[in-house]
Amino acid sequence: MDLSKKIFFLVVLQTFLIFISSCLPWGQKKDEERLYEKGKEGRWVYSEQRPSPYGEGKDAVTYSKKPYGIKEGEGEGVVQPQRVTTPYPLGRLKYKVVVMDFQDETKKERKELGSIVAQELAKQLEESGVALLVDMELVKKSLKGESLNSLTEPSLLWRIRTLLGIHGVVTGTLKNVLVGSGEKSSEAESLAVTKMEAKLLDTETGNIIRSVKGENPIFVSRAIGGFSRDKALLKAINFTLQGIKEGIVRGLSCLEWSTSVASVEGGKVYINAGKSTGLKIGDILDVYDPGKEIKHPITNISLGRVPGELKGRIKVVQFFGFDASVADMISSGRIVEGDVVKLSNQ
């Protein structure tokens, strides 16, 4: 056999052997093993359960491998999903809002966690540029001893609207809070999940105009090092509240902006909105009677108030205090405390 025939024979034999090898079970098994190993990347490997430091009588689930294929050596700077906040065409005037402490329904002793959540939500709402947060102490003084537990009652909501110009009250509930711990090299590592629900109450009608639920993806809460459990929990709370904040802002966008008359002295009208709200010196405002409340004949749910009588027109001339202003009367007819004030169309 000459050399060319030998080379041709070896090529054919090699091709045949490769084909047979790919069809045999052990070839498929190796491929499957490679796919399985590749698929394991990003999975969590459960380790032993450890007693929970919070003393709830339950064990905390821990993990010995980081989720989603995070590489060793990475610090706390995990790239988190970027939320895009919808631009709301609400104009230059902000809505006054009260955020109450969240109720903890998790049956776990985490002191003041509901207050921490409320403070963080209030911060995010103010940063949105849509809401102006009213201090709870001011609300307490205005209600003169009334329990804040009754602040969801329509009568009290209407009172704080007429007294302070508040548009909405936010209440919330912590539905679930889970924190898991493990180890990264010699450092502690923690992940957390929080589930919450918040409601926005309209102070004019007492109705719930927005109910929002939120939960964070677990990987965004990852924290390592000292106090990793607390850090992970705060990250989870922060992310969950971003979605809740957006829902509340959407609810506020459904409301017509207005404020109220705080008092009247001579030809001066003092109103519950000022520079912080977004008013400007020279703004012309219309003053209305609060109008009659209309309720649904079957459900007895408030539908709102029909526009009251136009009682006068005023012009902003000075700001004072945290968020109040002085207005001169342009035209007047019996303007009194509690009357509704809106931007004039003229």
- Return the higher-pLDDT residue of 152 and 25: 152
Name residue, tokens 């056999």.
Answer: 1
Superfamily for the 259-343 domain:
FlgT, C-terminal domain (2.40.10.410)
What pLDDT band is residue 56 in, cutting at 50, 70 and 90?
very low
Domain-wise residue ranges, the chain: 50-68+90-252, 259-343
Quote the mean pLDDT of the chain: 79
User: Of 98-107, 151-160, 181-190, where does mean pLDDT reach its minimum?
Assistant: 181-190
pLDDT on residue 219: 87
pLDDT on residue 227: 85
Longest dimension (CA), the chain: 124
What pLDDT band is residue 306 in, cutting at 50, 70 and 90?
confident
In tens, the pLDDT along 184-224 reads: 656 788 999 999 999 999 999 999 999 999 999 988 999 98
- Return the higher-pLDDT residue of 205 and 150: 205
pLDDT on residue 84: 41
Name residue, tokens 């969801």.
Answer: 152
Task: Pull the structure tokens for residue 16.
Answer: 């045949």
Tell me the C-alpha distance between 33 and 248, whole Å: 49
Whether the pLDDT of residue 115 is over 90: the answer is: yes
pLDDT on residue 64: 41
Residue of 328, 140, 312, 170 lying closest to 241 (CA atoms): 170
In tens, the pLDDT along 259-286 reads: 999 999 988 999 999 999 999 999 999 9
pLDDT on residue 116: 94
Task: Pull the structure tokens for residue 248.
Answer: 């509340």
In tens, the pLDDT along 215-249 reads: 999 889 999 888 888 999 999 999 999 999 999 99
∠ Cα 311 317 320 (to 5°): 105
Of all residues in the chain, what percent carry a pLDDT higher than 90? 49
Q: Is the pTM of this model over 0.85?
A: no
CATH code reported for the domain at 50-68+90-252: 3.40.50.10070
Tell me the C-alpha distance between 117 and 70, whole Å: 28
Q: Are 55 and 111 in contact (CB under 8 A)?
A: no
Helices (H), 180-321: 228-252
Please state, in angstroms and as integers, the Cα–Cα distance from residue 16 to each residue in 6, 8, 27, 202, following that order: 15, 13, 15, 78
